[in-house]
Structure formats: C-alpha cells, structure tokens
Structure 1
Amino acid sequence: MRAIRMLLVSALVMAPLVGHADEKDVARLTQLLEKSQTITARFSQLTLDASGTSLQETQGQMSVKRPGLFYWHTDAPQEQVVVSDGKMVTLWDPDLEQATVKKLDARLNQTPALLLSGDVSKISESFDITSKEQGNVMDFTLKPKTKDTLFDSLRVSFRGGLINDMQLIDSVGQRTNILFNGVKANEAIPASQFQFKVPEGADVIQE
C-alpha cells in the first residue's frame, strides 16, 4: 500500500545523550506516546532515494486516536486517503476511483500511523529502541525485530513532549521524512473521521 509505505532544528545548547535499548528508552517512548491519546496535525512528507535525490514531496492532514484509529489524507495533485477503523484499513485513490480494503494485520501494526495510534504497551515486542536527548528534543530510533516489515529503521522525534517529525529508511536506502506542523493533542475527534464510505460506483479491492 503506497501511502502507508511512504507513511512519515535549531541549535541546542546540550550535548546529545545517547541511550541503549533498555527499559529506560522503552519507558520514555511509552510515556510520550501515552501522553497524546489523540493527535491532529498537518504534515509535509519528502521521499529521497539512497543518493539523496528527491523522489516525491507531498503535504496533507492526519488524525490519530488510540487504539488503532487513524486518518491520513495526502493533498492533491497526488491525493490519497488512508483510514483505519481499528479493524480494517481502507486506501482510497480518487484518481483511479478505487478503494483497497485490507485487514489491520501484524505487518501494518508496524507502520508509522499505528505507532502513533496503537497499543503502546506492545511497542517493545515489535522494536529494538534507542534514544537520544538534545535540550527539549527527544529522538528515538526503532528497528523492527522481524524482517517482514515496511522499513528497516524508523526515527521519531518529540519536541516539548509533542510529536515533531519522523524518518523512515527502507531496505534499499530510500528515506521518507515526515514533518508535523500545528500539532494538537487530546482534542475531541469525531468518530466519523475514522469511517470511510466508498463512493458509489467505485471499484473495491479486498486484500
């Protein structure tokens, strides 16, 4: 699923403090994720190949709510919508008038959107985690424990306790940088945000 796969600072006076994959790193990340039961934000996403050449640049809007609910809308001209109701994931491609629907399985549980909306108690089951602290910025590097994943490495950064950016690196060195703007946490989000109604006449692919 293309949209999920792509699903994703100023000078600081303190020197980096590098941690190891221990319980402290897991506890820090868990605490920061649990702090925001809902998140809404704009995002800017840049995908680069292994040489650093820009492949694609997009913007959009996202919303997440624990447990397992997310909405990821990439703006036109490359518009796509990805919605999870906690059980199923729908990818809507308006250009093709096509919806792809699949079960929210273990592989998708390791995507960035579900890191923000999923069950934080299970993070350490899926990832090896290390952390780095610089002033009010906390960086975490997550490496999947299994090989059947959508990325080889994920870095997630928090500024002032709120999600700030992510970087994904896949097996061929392709990087996807996702910067979040206007982040709002713990505000009410309508349940309808996470329910996608396929337009009449559209093609539906069940996977």
Structure 2
Amino acid sequence: MRLTKVCLVAVTMLVATVVRADDIDALIGKLDQFNTVSGKAMQVITSADGEEIQKTQSEFKILRPGYFYWRTLPPYEQVIVSNPETISVYDPDLEQVSIYQSEKMRNSPASILSGNRSAIEKQFKVTKSGASNDKKSTSFELSYIDTANADFKKLTVTFKKDLLASIVMHDMLDQVTSITFGKVNTKAALTPAQFEFTPPAGVDVIIE
C-alpha cells in the first residue's frame, strides 16, 4: 500500500492558507513545457534515522492531461495505469487489480504532474526554493493545505535544465522517499490508447 501511495505521488501532484501565485506560475510554467514524457525512475525509501528500507526501479509514461503509466520492476512489481476516468493498480504477486475513480485520487501528490493549476492550488501551498549551488536546477516545495488528511508532510520537486529530475517526499513518520528520474524523453510518441488497462485473466478485480 505504501508503494502505491508513493507512486500515485509520483501520477494523479500533481481555506485560509495564502498561496503565492508567482511560485505556482513558475511551477506550472515548468510542467507546461511538455505534453508527453517517458523515462526511468529510481525510488529509495529511507527511515527517519537514514537507514535504507527499500529501493526500486520503475519505468513511466505521461500524456497530459490525465494519462499516466507507472511500472515498478521486480522484485516489487506493480503496475499503475491512469486515464481521466479511472486508475487501475495491478499487483501481480497478489493476482489482484484495484480500480479507483480518478476523481477520488485527485488529492494525491501525483496530481502535480498533470499541471492542473486549480488542483494544485486546492491541495498545496507552493514555495519556490531559494538559490541553489547548481544554477541549472530549480526546486519547488509543496506542503498540503489540509494537513489532517495528508499522507506526507512536504514534497520537493526539482527540475534540471527544465526536465523533471526528482521528487522527494517526507511522510508523517519522518520517512523519506526519493524518486530520481533518468532517460527522460519529452518527445515520446504517446496516444490515449496506450493508457487503457485490461486486467489479466484470472485475477481478482476490486472496484474501490
């Protein structure tokens, strides 16, 4: 379940709190530079004392707006496929597919990748990070407005040379999940048909 939440973090980011519009503009500007993207990802989860808990490798595809594919490779294999209507989570080890309505998952950090300004404003306070030693990097810190229902304390999204480079998440137990992106292709030839998911024969299908 944790892996699912983290991946949804990394599909669907993406009141009284004051939001800095200029920082949201800057973040949306970065996201709006691509409509399609594919690549690889390395995900590392560490405990509050810095001990590595889990390391996984993944491959992903995004077609904006609303389409997302994320496959975590063995030994922790899992497939998440999202389109504007549904999100399907397939766990081969459990021989199980869980299907959610996309509307129910809009508060996940993954919604940031959609670049939907309204969704980001409703869910997050966005702050552009200060100057970095790496002048080619730009980072944004996102914290949930509704902290009572948040899975994470904060998220940091970093771009290098205008490409998505990493997402770092700090959860309520002070565990840290770091996702580093590589082989990023912003000219991927993707179509909505590639984001349709048919459950394999014989698996349990759960409608959430």
- Normalising by structure 2, we get a TM-score of 0.87
Shift of 1:112: 3.8
Q: 1:34 is aligned with what amino acid?
A: D
Q: 2:152 is aligned with what amino acid?
A: F
2:201 corresponds to which residue? 200
Contact 1:143 1:153 (C-alpha < 8 Å) held by counterparts? yes
2:111 corresponds to which residue? 114
Shift of 1:116: 1.0
**Is 1:101 aligned to 2:99, yes or no?**
yes
Contact 1:6 1:47 (C-alpha < 8 Å) held by counterparts? no
Deviates further, 163-172 or 144-153: 144-153
Alignment length (residue pairs): 195
**Is 1:77 aligned to 2:66, yes or no?**
no
Give the fraction of aligned pairs with identical amino acids, expressed as a percent: 32
- Structure 2: tracts of 5 or more residues without a match: 11-17
Shift of 1:122: 3.1
**How far apart in 2 are the matches of 1:164 and 1:46?**
14
**How far apart in 2 are the matches of 1:164 and 1:25?**
18
**How far apart in 1 are the matches of 2:200 and 2:2?**
20
Deviates further, 127-136 or 185-194: 185-194
Q: Deviations over 1:16-44 (max 9, x none)?
A: xxxx9522211110100111111111000
Contact 1:130 1:142 (C-alpha < 8 Å) held by counterparts? yes
1:152 corresponds to which residue? 153
- Normalising by structure 1, we get a TM-score of 0.87
**How far apart in 1 are the matches of 2:53 and 2:88?**
25
Q: 2:101 is aligned with what amino acid?
A: K
**Is 1:182 aligned to 2:179, yes or no?**
no
Counterpart secondary structure, 1:86: coil
Contact 1:164 1:180 (C-alpha < 8 Å) held by counterparts? yes
Q: 2:121 is aligned with what amino acid?
A: S
Q: Deviations over 1:111-169 (max 9, x none)?
A: 34321135234312221111124301000000011121221101000001110001011
Counterpart secondary structure, 1:95: helix
Contact 1:4 1:111 (C-alpha < 8 Å) held by counterparts? no
Shift of 1:174: 1.1
Counterpart secondary structure, 1:152: strand
- Structure 1: tracts of 5 or more residues without a match: 9-19
Q: 2:4 is aligned with what amino acid?
A: I
Runs of 4 or more, structure 1, over 4 Å off, are none
Counterpart secondary structure, 1:35: coil
Q: 2:128 is aligned with what amino acid?
A: S
